[in-house]
Amino acid sequence: MRLGLVIDLDVCVGCHACAIACKQWNASGTIGPLSDYEPYGAEPSGVWFNRIRHYEMDEYPHNKTVNFPMSCNHCEDADCVTVCPTGASYKRAEDGIVLVDQDKCMGCNYCSWACPYGARELDRSSGTMKKCTLCVDRIYDETLAIEDRQPSCVLTCPAHARWFGDFDDPDSQVSRITRERGGFGLMPELGYNPTNQYLPPRRKPVIEVNTQPKGGLKESIKQFANKLVRR
Amino acid sequence: MNARIKTENHDRQETKYTTCYMCACRCGIKVTLEDNKVRFIQGNRNHPTNQGVLCAKGSAGIMKQYSTAKLTQPLMRKPGTERGEGVYEAISWDQALDILTNRLEEIRATDPAKLAYFTGRDQMQALTGLWAQQFGTPNWAAHGGFCSVNMAAAGLYTIGFSFWEFGAPDWDYAKYFIMWGVAEDHSSNPIKIGLEKLKRRGGKFVSVNPVRTGYSAIADEWLPIKPGMDGLLAMSMVHVLLKHELFDYEFLVKYTNASWLVVQTPGEKGDGLFLRDEKNHPLIWDIEKEMFKNGEDGDIAPALFGEYVAPDGRRVKTVFSMMAERYLDAQYAPENVALQVGLPAESIERIALEMAHVAFKEAVELPIAWTDVWGRKHDKVVGRPVAFYAMRGIAAHSNGFHGCRAVHFIQMMLGALDGPGNFRARAPYPKPIPPHQLPENNLDIINAPNTPLSRPPLGFPTRPEDLVIDEFGNPVRIDKAYSWEVPIASHGMMHMVITNACNHDPYAIDTLMLFMANMAWNSTMNTKNVQDMLRMKDPEEPGEYKIPFLVVIDAFHSEMTNFADLILPDTTYLERYDTISLLDRPISEPDAAADAIRHPLVTLDRDVRPWQEVMVELASRLKFPAFTKPDGTRKFTGYKDFIVNFERSPGIGFLAGYRGVDGTKSLKGEPNPNQWEAYIANQSFFAHHWPDNQKYVRYANKDYLEVAADAGFVGKVEPIIMQFYSEPLQKFRLAGMGLYDGPQPNNQVDRERLVKYFDPLPMWYQPLEQQRTDANEYPFFALTQRPMFMYHSWDSQNVWLRQIMAQNYLYMNAGKARSMGIEDFDWVWVESHNGKIRCQVKTMEGTQEDTVWTWNAIGKQKGAWGLKENASEATKGFLLNHLISELLPEKNGERRVTNSDPVTGQAAWFDLRVKIYKAAPGETGSWPQFDVLKPFPGDERYERPNVLRYDARTHEKN
């Protein structure tokens, strides 16, 4: 299996629902807590596995806003794993999920420097590196209903802009939608083979209209004829 | 299969269903609890509102529950300290209730209007309104007047339902969707769910908004309109539709008043009113029978166009002829409005034509048999799949009522209302136009001590006789709603209460009760001066404040609580019983009437009480008739008992589900003693799914209207005819002209406003404040919106949400900023006619060039909301509110007039114009700054660590 996410940039409204759902699941999840620094003071910040960035393309008035959720891409060729001096960072053979063994991690930050996507988050309190686990403690929890065995970001996304599944299965929803919509991985030139795929904005619908009016202005009131329409 | 993965031990967990209250959307949530701690909140898949999804706010509910701003006990301002100093003493609930009961008893026994009770962003107006009515004060309203009453009133005076809770786009069939002036996250989850459905099907999404963020980011076409010009844009689109003869003739004839005849006798009494028969029915000209006939009847073939002569010799004309004359005028042509609205004429024309194309060439037909209210059977439903959603961007202007009505005009012309693919009604709407509920205006009853009002304080006036004024024509309400100044102020005018009460205009009050409303900060205009007003002493009553007693009910340490004389602490939404009622602001969806409850999931850990419960207690202590048995004892043991057993009329109560003695009746039925348990067993909501034949055309759907009448949604089974031409407005205008047989204003200001602004057909005019400010001096429009992850969330102290945003910036168009030498993160002064502020700029492409904007309510007063003094919200965040005046700039010889829509009293937040210039080197930090709020007694229980490590399952892991 090669588990990962599809993120639909055509419908992501940048609402941060996925980011907070991730935060609340994982804060009390197996990798939690996720520290919050200065939560009541100036410049609050904290450990987040999923962050939403907002970009603008082109110039006013032809500009477009693109909302861009970003989390671990669970790369096929994950440098974050190879650089890890303790073996804490590992990629699971059975499903491709990249995880950090909290008992082995010494917080050296090598993996974070190796990750071009900025997906790794050092928890300064535990002194360990943390990151998206694809909610591995949800998706394999057989006590949950099958429809609940998904990453919390996917479960919650109000715009249904997130999909979870197995990219090794060509018939899976994520494989199909990636094919159909021309999905792409981020920065392929770097050669990490990211598993997560992004769907580009759709083309604008075109509606043909006839701009030639039937009548003229003002005096056309006289041209309006009553029709026999019974209520 | 993956033995190494440790999953969660659920042995000590339980899941419960309740209703979210992180915003006004009120989604169903499934909450996992572990040892009384909140482990996880997710959307409820079965809930009609959110269908399983949940927004950022909903997921952040955990951090609201564990907020360090939570009040802990009733507080009394310490004797000898001044209001606003923020020095309090803890008192018991018994003491608090005794103090309040005694005060209210005295007021009620002498002059009930001396109590003003205004509520903020709550959604229990059915209960608070009943309470005020039973108390006998006319001075009650919720926050609608400063929110979006223009949108609500325009809908209810035009189509019988409206945007927000009373209608929704039909996402399953819509092919074209225009969003007008909708802030980032209105109707949080449903719109996000819907936009994805629309785009998946290849539908087109157009956004009309000066700012491209949030939903607008994914629009296929963005129309960066200038603020306040929406009405003009809509009227120009009406022009295009008329010019091209693109309107649904059949719809207009059947379901609107387009064919009704209007009397044309300018300068005479009766001009502009409908021609009516002796039974007061409006008349049409029947082209088949060649005679005048009742325009409400089914058996007619009306002329849509034409001028006729009434039997009494008066000239009459059809509404649609009047419309064609007005809107075909060249002044509404796209090329003539383009400059003003800030959009290319080509876009205006094309969008109107695209809508018409989709409406008429791509109509949806569903093979659903239904019967119209006139008794005729139909074998299909035809839908014009053009859907709209519109909100405060249009509404929060002093020309917003007409603007909102103009948007509905397009929907009516396209026949795109309550059909497949367009904008559909949500029960209990549609209602008669306007709803048959008048505000109490009987002076004898209002002035009578210890006497409930005979009807609610708020309603929908149809003529000058319905105003709430005294024998001299002066306002009777403290907010002046329903006075000549703002005749159709159907949600009241909360934004005027403090100013009017301090000015003793129209009179002095004794006690002001504010529930869940931050009127000393982000919910008021003119914040700094309003804070001063709250501290203002009355020179005529030594030792007394202008507002003698101020009671604040809130769950959190807001800026407002700091001014209270008495603070009654509320619970969080996870700690109380609550109802989301069809009598109130419903959560119905187009396909189902629905309501919901909350019930306590988390055990209370402090001495606070749900305001619902306290209101029932006060009502019982004060012996309100509806809460008291004939023998004088209390009728209800508490809120739960009240909800189960109170009946507004036989069989109709706050909750529509699981009624009847055995819980098997829906919408109507005897009280069910186990109703709460039934709701809890059914995931805390109830939905009555409409059968197919009752889903569409409900303004004229016999089977639907029969159920609606039985359930009390409408008074009786009769057609709800949509009103292009608004006769109520014309009656007020005639009064302004001195041509009305009934009350007429005696003040020149009022007369002029009525004549100018009570046009029975939508008109565009320059917003009132802008008429009195110099556009050259103040070149920018300035407005606010809330970010998606905080919209309607009434706080940003939430430690997770504030990590997304703890400081707001003033956003400007990048090119414009460049031309002024302003760069990202520059500190600037922003000045209006009312004052100035200092804030920091960020530039962006997605802002209309003449507009600046910011996120509202990020700025906080130091020490408020459980934050530390150095919180970015207080040091760098800012409010635009200081720049906005609740009164229009003074005009010589004229009394001060509210900065609101002259028809509805809607607060004109977005009429603001400002100038911007760079701050001097070294001038940094937001300004003005305010005193630091002192911690309340009880605050010592909260830790505010530098690092927070929330984990609901710590015990498990340790």
Of B134-138, B146-150, B191-195, B690-694, give the lowest mean pLDDT range.
B146-150
Task: Report CB contact under 8 Å: B192, A205.
Answer: no
Q: Which residues of A touch B198 (CB under 8 A)?
A: none
Type and span of the H or E element at B841 = strand B835-844
pLDDT number for residue B6: 86
Residue of B nearest to A38 (CA): B946
Reported confidence tier of residue B117, pLDDT bands at 50, 70, 90: very high
Question: Does the structure show a pLDDT above 70 at B3?
Answer: no
Of A119-128, A207-216, B247-256, B734-743, give the lowest mean pLDDT range.
A207-216
CATH 3.40.228.10: which residues of chain B? 157-428+722-726
Exposure letters B572-595 (e unless 16+ CB within 10 A, then b): bbbbbbbbbbbbbbbbbbbbbbbb
pLDDT number for residue B103: 98
Task: Report CB contact under 8 Å: B952, A28.
Answer: yes
Question: Does the structure show a pLDDT above 60 at B1?
Answer: no
pLDDT number for residue A225: 86
Of A217-231, B77-91, B564-578, B835-849, give the lowest mean pLDDT range.
A217-231
Residue of B nearest to A207 (CA): B354
The pLDDT tens digits of the residues spanning A72-97 come to: 999 999 999 999 999 999 999 999 99
DSSP character string of chain A: --EEEEEETTT-----HHHHHHHHHHHSSTT----EESTTSSS-EE--S-EEEEEEES-TTS-EEEEEEE-----TT-HHHHT-SSS-EEE-TTT--EEE-TTT-----HHHHH-TT---EEETTTTEEE---TTHHHHT-TTS-GGG-S-HHHHH-TT--EEEEETTSTTSHHHHHHHHHT-B-S-GGG----S-EEEPPPPPP--------SS-SSTHHHHPPP-----
Reported confidence tier of residue A220, pLDDT bands at 50, 70, 90: low
Residue of B nearest to A202 (CA): B199
Task: Report CB contact under 8 Å: A228, B325.
Answer: no
Closest to B495 (Cα-Cα) out of B772, B118, B800: B118
Instruction: Scan for tokens 């006497």, then name that residue.
Output: B451
Closest to B948 (Cα-Cα) out of B787, B727, B799, B745: B799
Q: Which two tokens stand for residue B442?
A: 């009987």
How much is the average pLDDT of B837-860? 97
pLDDT number for residue B94: 98
How much is the average pLDDT of B135-158? 95
ipTM of the complex: 0.97
Task: Report CB contact under 8 Å: A36, B10.
Answer: no
How much is the average pLDDT of B34-63? 97
Task: Report CB contact under 8 Å: B304, A224.
Answer: yes
How many residue pairs bridge chain A and chain B with CB atoms within 8 Å of each other? Answer: 305
Cβ contact A200:A181 at 8 Å: yes
Bridge partners, residue B579, by sequence: B597
Burial of residue B609, with CB atoms counted within 10 A of its CB: 0-12 exposed, 13-18 middle, 19 or more buried: buried
Q: Which residues of A touch B306 (CB under 8 A)?
A: 226
Question: Does the structure show a pLDDT above 80 at A219?
Answer: no
Question: Does the structure show a pLDDT above 70 at A216?
Answer: no
Question: Does the structure show a pLDDT above 90 at A231?
Answer: no
| Average per-residue pLDDT for chain B | 96
Reported confidence tier of residue B795, pLDDT bands at 50, 70, 90: low
Nearest to B62 among A12, A14, A24 (CB): A24
Q: How far is B693 from chain A (nearest CA, A)?
A: 19
Task: Report CB contact under 8 Å: A207, B357.
Answer: yes
Nearest to A24 among B6, B41, B245 (CB): B41
Task: Report CB contact under 8 Å: B45, A147.
Answer: yes
Reported confidence tier of residue B122, pLDDT bands at 50, 70, 90: confident
- Residue B653 phi/psi, 5-degree rounding, is -130, -170
- Residue B315 phi/psi, 5-degree rounding, is -75, 140
Task: Report CB contact under 8 Å: B196, A228.
Answer: no
pLDDT number for residue B120: 87
Residue of A nearest to B32 (CA): A25
Q: Which residues of A touch B68 (CB under 8 A)?
A: 40
The pLDDT tens digits of the residues spanning B344-398 come to: 999 999 999 999 999 999 999 999 999 999 999 999 999 999 999 999 999 999 9
The pLDDT tens digits of the residues spanning B229-284 come to: 999 999 999 999 999 999 999 999 999 999 999 999 999 999 999 999 999 999 99
Q: How far is A114 from chain B (nearest CA, A)?
A: 25
Q: Which residues of B touch A161 (CB under 8 A)?
A: 196
Q: Which residues of A touch B304 (CB under 8 A)?
A: 224, 226-227, 229
Model confidence pTM above 0.95: yes
Task: Report CB contact under 8 Å: A161, B6.
Answer: no
Q: Which residues of B touch A61 (CB under 8 A)?
A: 222, 224
Q: Which residues of B touch A136 (CB under 8 A)?
A: 2, 5
Q: How far is B188 from chain A (nearest CA, A)?
A: 8
Type and span of the H or E element at B407 = helix B400-414
Q: Which residues of B touch A142 (CB under 8 A)?
A: 7
Task: Report CB contact under 8 Å: B788, A13.
Answer: yes
Question: Does the structure show a pLDDT above 80 at B955?
Answer: no
**Interface probe with B: pick from A3, A11, A20, A149, most Cβ of B within 10 Å:** A20
Q: Which residues of A touch B43 (CB under 8 A)?
A: 155-156
CATH 2.40.40.20: which residues of chain B? 772-941
DSSP reduced 3-state for B786: coil
Reported confidence tier of residue B315, pLDDT bands at 50, 70, 90: very high
How much is the average pLDDT of B101-130? 94
Task: Report CB contact under 8 Å: A20, B947.
Answer: no
Question: Does the structure show a pLDDT above 90 at B718?
Answer: yes
Q: Which residues of A touch B59 (CB under 8 A)?
A: 17, 20-21, 23-24, 156
Residue of B nearest to A126 (CA): B949
- Residue B864 phi/psi, 5-degree rounding, is -85, 165
Task: Report CB contact under 8 Å: B217, A64.
Answer: yes
- Number of helices (H), then strands (E), belonging to chain B: the values are 28, 35
The pLDDT tens digits of the residues spanning B8-33 come to: 999 999 999 999 999 989 999 999 99
Question: Does the structure show a pLDDT above 90 at A137?
Answer: yes
Question: Does the structure show a pLDDT above 70 at B958?
Answer: no
Q: How far is B694 from chain A (nearest CA, A)?
A: 20
Question: Does the structure show a pLDDT above 60 at B41?
Answer: yes
Reported confidence tier of residue B2, pLDDT bands at 50, 70, 90: very low
Closest to B122 (Cα-Cα) out of B228, B21, B246: B21
Which CATH architecture describes the domain B157-428+722-726?
3-Layer(aba) Sandwich (3.40)
How much is the average pLDDT of A128-156? 97
Residue of A nearest to B224 (CA): A61
Strand order across the beta sheet in which A197-199 lies:
A162-166, A3-8, A197-199
Q: How far is A180 from chain B (nearest CA, A)?
A: 12
Q: Which residues of A touch B415 (CB under 8 A)?
A: none
Residue of B nearest to A138 (CA): B7
pLDDT number for residue B954: 84
Q: Which two tokens stand for residue B30?
A: 């499934």
pLDDT number for residue A210: 83
Q: How far is A82 from chain B (nearest CA, A)?
A: 21
Q: Which residues of B touch A58 (CB under 8 A)?
A: 845
Task: Report CB contact under 8 Å: B59, A23.
Answer: yes
Question: Does the structure show a pLDDT above 80 at B123?
Answer: no
Type and span of the H or E element at B846 = none
Q: Which two tokens stand for residue B9?
A: 């031990």
More confident residue, B954 or B782: B782
Question: Does the structure show a pLDDT above 80 at B956?
Answer: no
**In percent, how much of chain B has pLDDT > 90?**
95
Nearest to A44 among B202, B244, B802 (CB): B802
Task: Report CB contact under 8 Å: B2, A140.
Answer: yes
What sign for the dihedral angle of Cα B77, B81, B87, B88?
negative
- Domains of chain A in start order, with CATH, are 3-199 (3.30.70.20)
Residue B297, C-beta contacts closer than 8 angstroms, at least 6 positions apart: A231, B281, B374
pLDDT number for residue A222: 58
Cβ contact B482:B489 at 8 Å: yes
| Average per-residue pLDDT for chain A | 95
Cβ contact A89:A115 at 8 Å: no
How much is the average pLDDT of B163-189? 91
Q: Which residues of B touch A21 (CB under 8 A)?
A: 42, 54, 56, 59
More confident residue, A218 or B697: B697
Which CATH architecture describes the domain B772-941?
Beta Barrel (2.40)
Cβ contact B813:B949 at 8 Å: no
Question: Does the structure show a pLDDT above 90 at A212?
Answer: no
Task: Report CB contact under 8 Å: A230, B301.
Answer: yes
Q: Which residues of A touch B720 (CB under 8 A)?
A: none
Closest to B641 (Cα-Cα) out of B670, B675, B678: B675
Nearest to B947 among A37, A158, A215 (CB): A37
Cβ contact B724:B412 at 8 Å: yes
Question: Does the structure show a pLDDT above 70 at B953?
Answer: yes
